[in-house]
Each structure stands twice: as C-alpha cells, then as structure tokens.
Chains A and B, each alone.
Chain A
Amino acid sequence: MAEFQRLHCFLCTGSGCVAAGAFDVRDKLREELEKHGLSEEIDIIDTGCAGLCERGPRMNVWPDEIYYAQLQTKDIPKLVEEHFLKGRPYEPCRMTDTVSGDIIASEMDFQFLSKQRRIVLENCGVVNPEHIEEYIARDGYLALGKVLCELQPADVLAEIKKSGLRGRGGAGFPTGLKWQLLHDAPGDTKYIVCNADEGDPGAFMDRSVLEGDPHRVIEAMAIKGYATGASKGFIYCRAEYALAILRLNIALKQARSYGLLGKNLFERGFDFDIEIRVGAGAFVCGEETALMQSIEGHRGHPMPRPPFPTQKGLWGKPTSINNVETYANIPWIIRQGGEAYAAIGTEKSKGTKVFALAGNVRNTGLIEVPMGITLREIVFGIGGGIVEDRAFKAAQAGGPSGGCIPAEHLDTPLDYESLTGLGAILGSGGLIIMDETSCMVDVARFFMEFCVDESCGKCVPCRAGTRQIWQLLTTICNGEAVMEDLDRLEKLCLMMRDMSLCGLGMTAANPVLSTLRHFRHEYEAHIKDKRCPAGVCRKLVTFSIAKEKCTGCGVCSRNCPVDTIFKMDGERKYHIVQDACIKCGSCFDVCNFDAVNKE
C-alpha cells in the first residue's frame, strides 16, 4: 500500500492550466509543503483537464471537497498555512459560481459541472494520466480484458453497432459499420489510426482526452485491433500538442511494461502495438487521405476517394481511422454494454458529445452532454447565460466547416441531423456563442481567412475559391460591395462545395452559406446602408462624442493611442478628429458617462 496521505490535491495540468502557470503553482506548493513538513502526508496529484480552463490553474482537495481556482504562486504560502496546516479552506482562492458569486461547495452546486454527463471525460481531472494504476483503478483495461478473454471479434462489432456510436470527428459515420468494413477487408496486414490532428479553431476535446486520460485511447485502439484483425495502430497527433504527446509516450511505455500492449495480450495470442506519428500542424492533415499521406512520410495532400482507406489505405493496406473522441467512448461501451450507451441521446445520435464551449458565455470550457440537449440548456444552463446579460444572437457550431444556429433555433436538439438541417454541423464540437456585439459577416470572414491559410492548394476550387470568397467578404466588411456581390458570393460558395477534392474544401464555405441564410439582413445592412449593425467592422463605424454628455474629464483623450481627441478652444468638451481616428474603440470603452457614440 502507498503511504497514508490524508489529503489528495488534484492539480489540473492540462494545457490550459499549464499556460496559466499550473507547473509554477505545483512547484511552489511542493516547496511550501516541504517547509511545513507536510510533504509526507499531503499528495499533489497532476490530473488532466476538468473543463474549466478559463478558471485555471485549478485544484480540488479531497476528502474536504474544496475547489480552488485561478491559483497564483503568491497565494500558495497562505493557502498551505491556512488550509493544509490549520484546516481552514483559504477563502480568497475558492471557486465561485459565475452567476451567483457564491463559493462552490460541491460539484452538484455548480451547474457547469452538475448538468454534464461524462463518459469520454469520466477520468479527466480525476486520475493522474501519468500513472497507469490510476486508470486501472477506474476499471481501465477491463474492457480490453473482457474483449480478449470472453468475446469474438464479431461480438465486439455487434456491440459497437448496437451502441449506435457515430464518428465524433465531424462526419458522423457509424463506427460499427466502419469497423465492419475493415474486418471484412481482405488481407493479413491491416492498420488502424487514431486521428488526433485536431485543428478547428476553439476545439480542444481531443487534446484534453489525450492529456488527461491517454490510456483510454490506447485501450480502445487495442479493442478495435482485435475486432478488425489489425495488429498495428498509429496515433497521428499534431506537434503543437506537446504535453499530449509526452503523456501518450509515457502511457504507451507503461502499457507495454504491464503487458497491455505488445505480444500475446492477456495470454490470448493477440499482438497489438501503437506508434505515435507527429504531424506538423497542417489543418488539411486532419482529412483522412491527407493524414495517411503524412503518416507515410509524404506531403500532406488529400487524395481522391475511392479507393477508400478500408480498401487501400496506409502503404496500400486496408486502414481504418477514427477520431480520439470516438475511441474514448469505446471502453465504456464494452464495459456497460451497447444498449446502455444507446439509451443516451436521440433516435439517430446516440451517447454523449463533448463541446468546447467558448465565446460570450459566463462559463466557458469543455463540456460533455447527452446528444439532443438543446442549445438553450447549454447557453443558459451550463454556460450560465450571456456575459452582461446581453441578448443571444447565434452559436457557431462545427468550426470552419460548420455554420451558425440563430436565436430562433435555440430549442433545437443538438444532434447530427438537426444541425445539418440548419446548415451547421456537429463537427468536432466547437461551439462559439455570440451575442449582439458579434458581426456575422466578420465571423464568416474570420473562418474564411482560416481556410485561406489552411487550404493545401492541391485543387483550384479550394485554393482560389477561399481567397476570392475572403476578398468578397472583406469588401462587404469595408462597405465597398454592391448587392450583386451577394449573388456572386453565394455562387462561389456553392461551386466550392460541389467541386473541391476533399472535405475541407467542400465544407469551407459553410460558415458563409449559413450566415447568408440566417443573417442576410446583416450582409444587406453592410452593403445598402454602409452600416455594421454590431459595430464591429471598423471601416463602417464612426466614433463621436455627444456634447451634451461630455463632462470634459479627458479620459478619452488620454487613452487615445493616436492622439486624435482634442478639446476645442474655449470649450470644456472634447471631440474626435475623424481623419486620424483608427477606430480602435478605446474612447468608447473608457468613457464613464456614455458620451462616446458608436454608429
């Protein structure tokens, strides 16, 4: 038995908390514990992400069940003395509810946590990802053991099909069917791949799973290997995910040392091992054919399909690719049964989905919810409502391949079919909440700019199309467009959708098409009235000072970065010289008397 430790402190060391200084906090904690002679009896455990990255670095203390947030090294001496030595939770650092401001005493009190349903993330934030024993304590590798010792490959396939699990990378292809295709493919050598080339702006669920619970993906890949007859797996992870790669490597090594990877697993004569391939960060490498090219060592270019990967994949052998999140569901499904999984969610979309909730909501972070939850429940329940109680305008789902869901569809259940019906996609699960201060044309332009950068350039529709669309959107944002440009824009988008080679190009115009569909009036306002309703597009915004409200305090003038706000001779009021104004909005933000107009 391990030494008895009276307190277990779970310090989140996901990338979000690390960026906020979690490692420094950990070192300081160790130092202070040492100083008070407490290091023997208090355990600091590095865990993965629990989802609340915005409030990092976070720490939970058990068994007291105290939640700390936004810890800084300067708080640590006091915290250690008060809480660990004297037993009084250190109030200034305790996590508070974003809506009520109350201290959070239990997970059940905090709707961000209490309304979630965790399967994929069940271990994230609860185990130390660098200790395989902790994963095993949470029933880890039991599913693999069960599969190898008690089930035939056909039984595994049947179970996955029964669960109704569909690909979580975006397209939503039934996972059981995908596995069956690989199982049925002829040949002795087959490969399976885990796609961890997560690239959508704002989506980070795959990273969190790999950082917080890497063994889960390893176990699932071994299960898939057994079910489909493959004995070699690749995890294709982007180089930017350094911590994920580090922890994956540790996990692989531990799994091998316990005999959970390698030869003759569970003494059943099944061999399986995994290799990590690090991608250089091109968005297109998340596309399956480009990904395989990259694994083989070629330039990451998409290839025409057919042949599909299950017919001719890596090195010409049958190959099957699943996303990290898809894999992360597998051990649970095997342990609890396909039916239990199918009981969650909607008719055609089963189970749970992880969303990266971002934008103008009070609680942002990683959430896992049952399929079919409404957008309203996410925004106003888990998300705690819009910042400053502004009005909800739209949610952007699915990143650069997705589209937006306007306010009138707040009660639409979030699943594959309903979102496709609205012109958005579930995609990888990025969910950006926007309010009245977001300009939809600008949003479309942002995503198009991303696609311009990330288009691989192989096919003309995507290479030239993204740039042309981006240019048209820029003209609209600048107020220089004419109404015919809207038709031209739409035509270009449809052409790109129909003619591009790979999924990236086919879906790149979705953000434009969906904003055109739901927010055409905003486009028209930019063109006809030369006005940006949200006040975002700088060329169309004018800042001026209302004489009757100006008190002459001068705070705007002092904050103006280009010194273009002056006091007129003999007057006590300020005014803005428009020629030099760069429309940064500083004056608008700093004025205490609402005297600056933005229009």
Chain B
Amino acid sequence: MNLEELRRLREKAQRDMALRTEHQRFRIKVSMGTSGLAKGAREVMDAMVNEIEARQLNDIEVVVTGSSGLEELEPFVAVEEQGQTPVLYGRVDTPTAKKIIAEHVVGGQKVTTHIVQRQRAEEVQ
C-alpha cells in the first residue's frame, strides 16, 4: 500500500461511517407509533431504506419517531434538509416513499401530492 491508496481507503471508510460523526444533510423521520405501524409505516420505512441503499446515498439519516397525534394522515414522513424548512408528507405509501427519495431528496422537487400543509394540520388538530 502507498500513501495514495491509504488516503482513498480512508475516504471510502469515512463515507461508510459518516452516520456516526456528524449530522447529515437530510434527516427523514418516519412516524411509527401504533397507528402509523397499522397503516404501513414499516413498509414505508423499508421502501425508503431500500431506495437509499439502491441509490447509494450517504448523507441521509432515517429516524423513527412516535405518533404525531394526527392519526388520520398516518403514516407521516418528514424530510428535514439542513437549512431548509422541514417538509411533512402524510398518507405515505411505498410508491410515494420511493418517490420522495427520488424526487425530493435526489431531485430537489417536493412531492406536492402528499404534502401536509402546516395550516391544515393545525386546523385539524
């Protein structure tokens, strides 16, 4: 091994371990309370994790949260991008989950069909 090879190996290893050291560019929260789980949050989460893996993305963390209290719109997925207003998606199913990764996280285009408006959320509550 020479120094150049070591540096390359280090960069690769650092990418694999990135999750542990700093906060990522994207934080995706899947609400997995009882009602979320009942409405398929588990499958949504699997779909997202698989999509992230398939696309080899590594600046994302996927976090599980509890119920939001707004059971009707479960499962929720919140996408928080550093420096941006968080976007909340409701009634997410597996195709939508994949779409969120593909269009929002990778493409930068929000999936407007499933966005839960902050205002509306407050009204319902």
Give A residues with C-beta under 8 Å from B: 1-6, 8, 10, 40-41, 62-64, 83-88, 126, 133-134, 136-137, 139-142, 145-146, 149, 258-260, 266-267
Contact = CB atoms under 8 A, between A and B. Distances in A.
A1 B49 contact: no
B77 to A, nearest CB: 12
Which of B24, B62, B65 has the most CB atoms of chain A within a 10 A radius of its CB? B62
B66 A145 contact: no
B20 A139 contact: no
B16 A2 contact: yes
B58 interface: yes
A277 B120 CA distance: 70
B40 interface: no
A62 B22 CA distance: 10
Contact of B9 (A5, A83, A133): A133
Contacts of A6: 19, 49, 61-63
A4 B52 contact: yes
Contacts of B56: 1
Closest 3 CB pairs between A and B? A87-B64, A137-B13, A6-B62
Interface residues of B, number: 38
Contacts, number: 93
A137 B3 contact: no
Interface of B: 1-3, 6-7, 9-10, 12-17, 19-20, 23-24, 27, 30-34, 37, 42, 46, 49, 52-53, 56-58, 61-66
A136 B15 CA distance: 12
A166 B27 CA distance: 45
Given A133-B13, A137-B13, A87 B65 contact: yes
Contacts of B20: 8, 10, 62-63, 126
A10 B13 CA distance: 17
Which of A3, A64, A84, A86 has the most CB atoms of chain B within a 10 A radius of its CB? A86
Which of B3, B63, B66 has the most CB atoms of chain A within a 10 A radius of its CB? B3
A63 B32 contact: no
Given A4-B53, A145-B3, A84 B64 contact: yes
A10 B20 CA distance: 10
B11 to A, nearest CB: 8
A266 B63 contact: no
A331 to B, nearest CB: 13
B35 to A, nearest CB: 11
A266 B7 CA distance: 12
A86 B53 contact: no
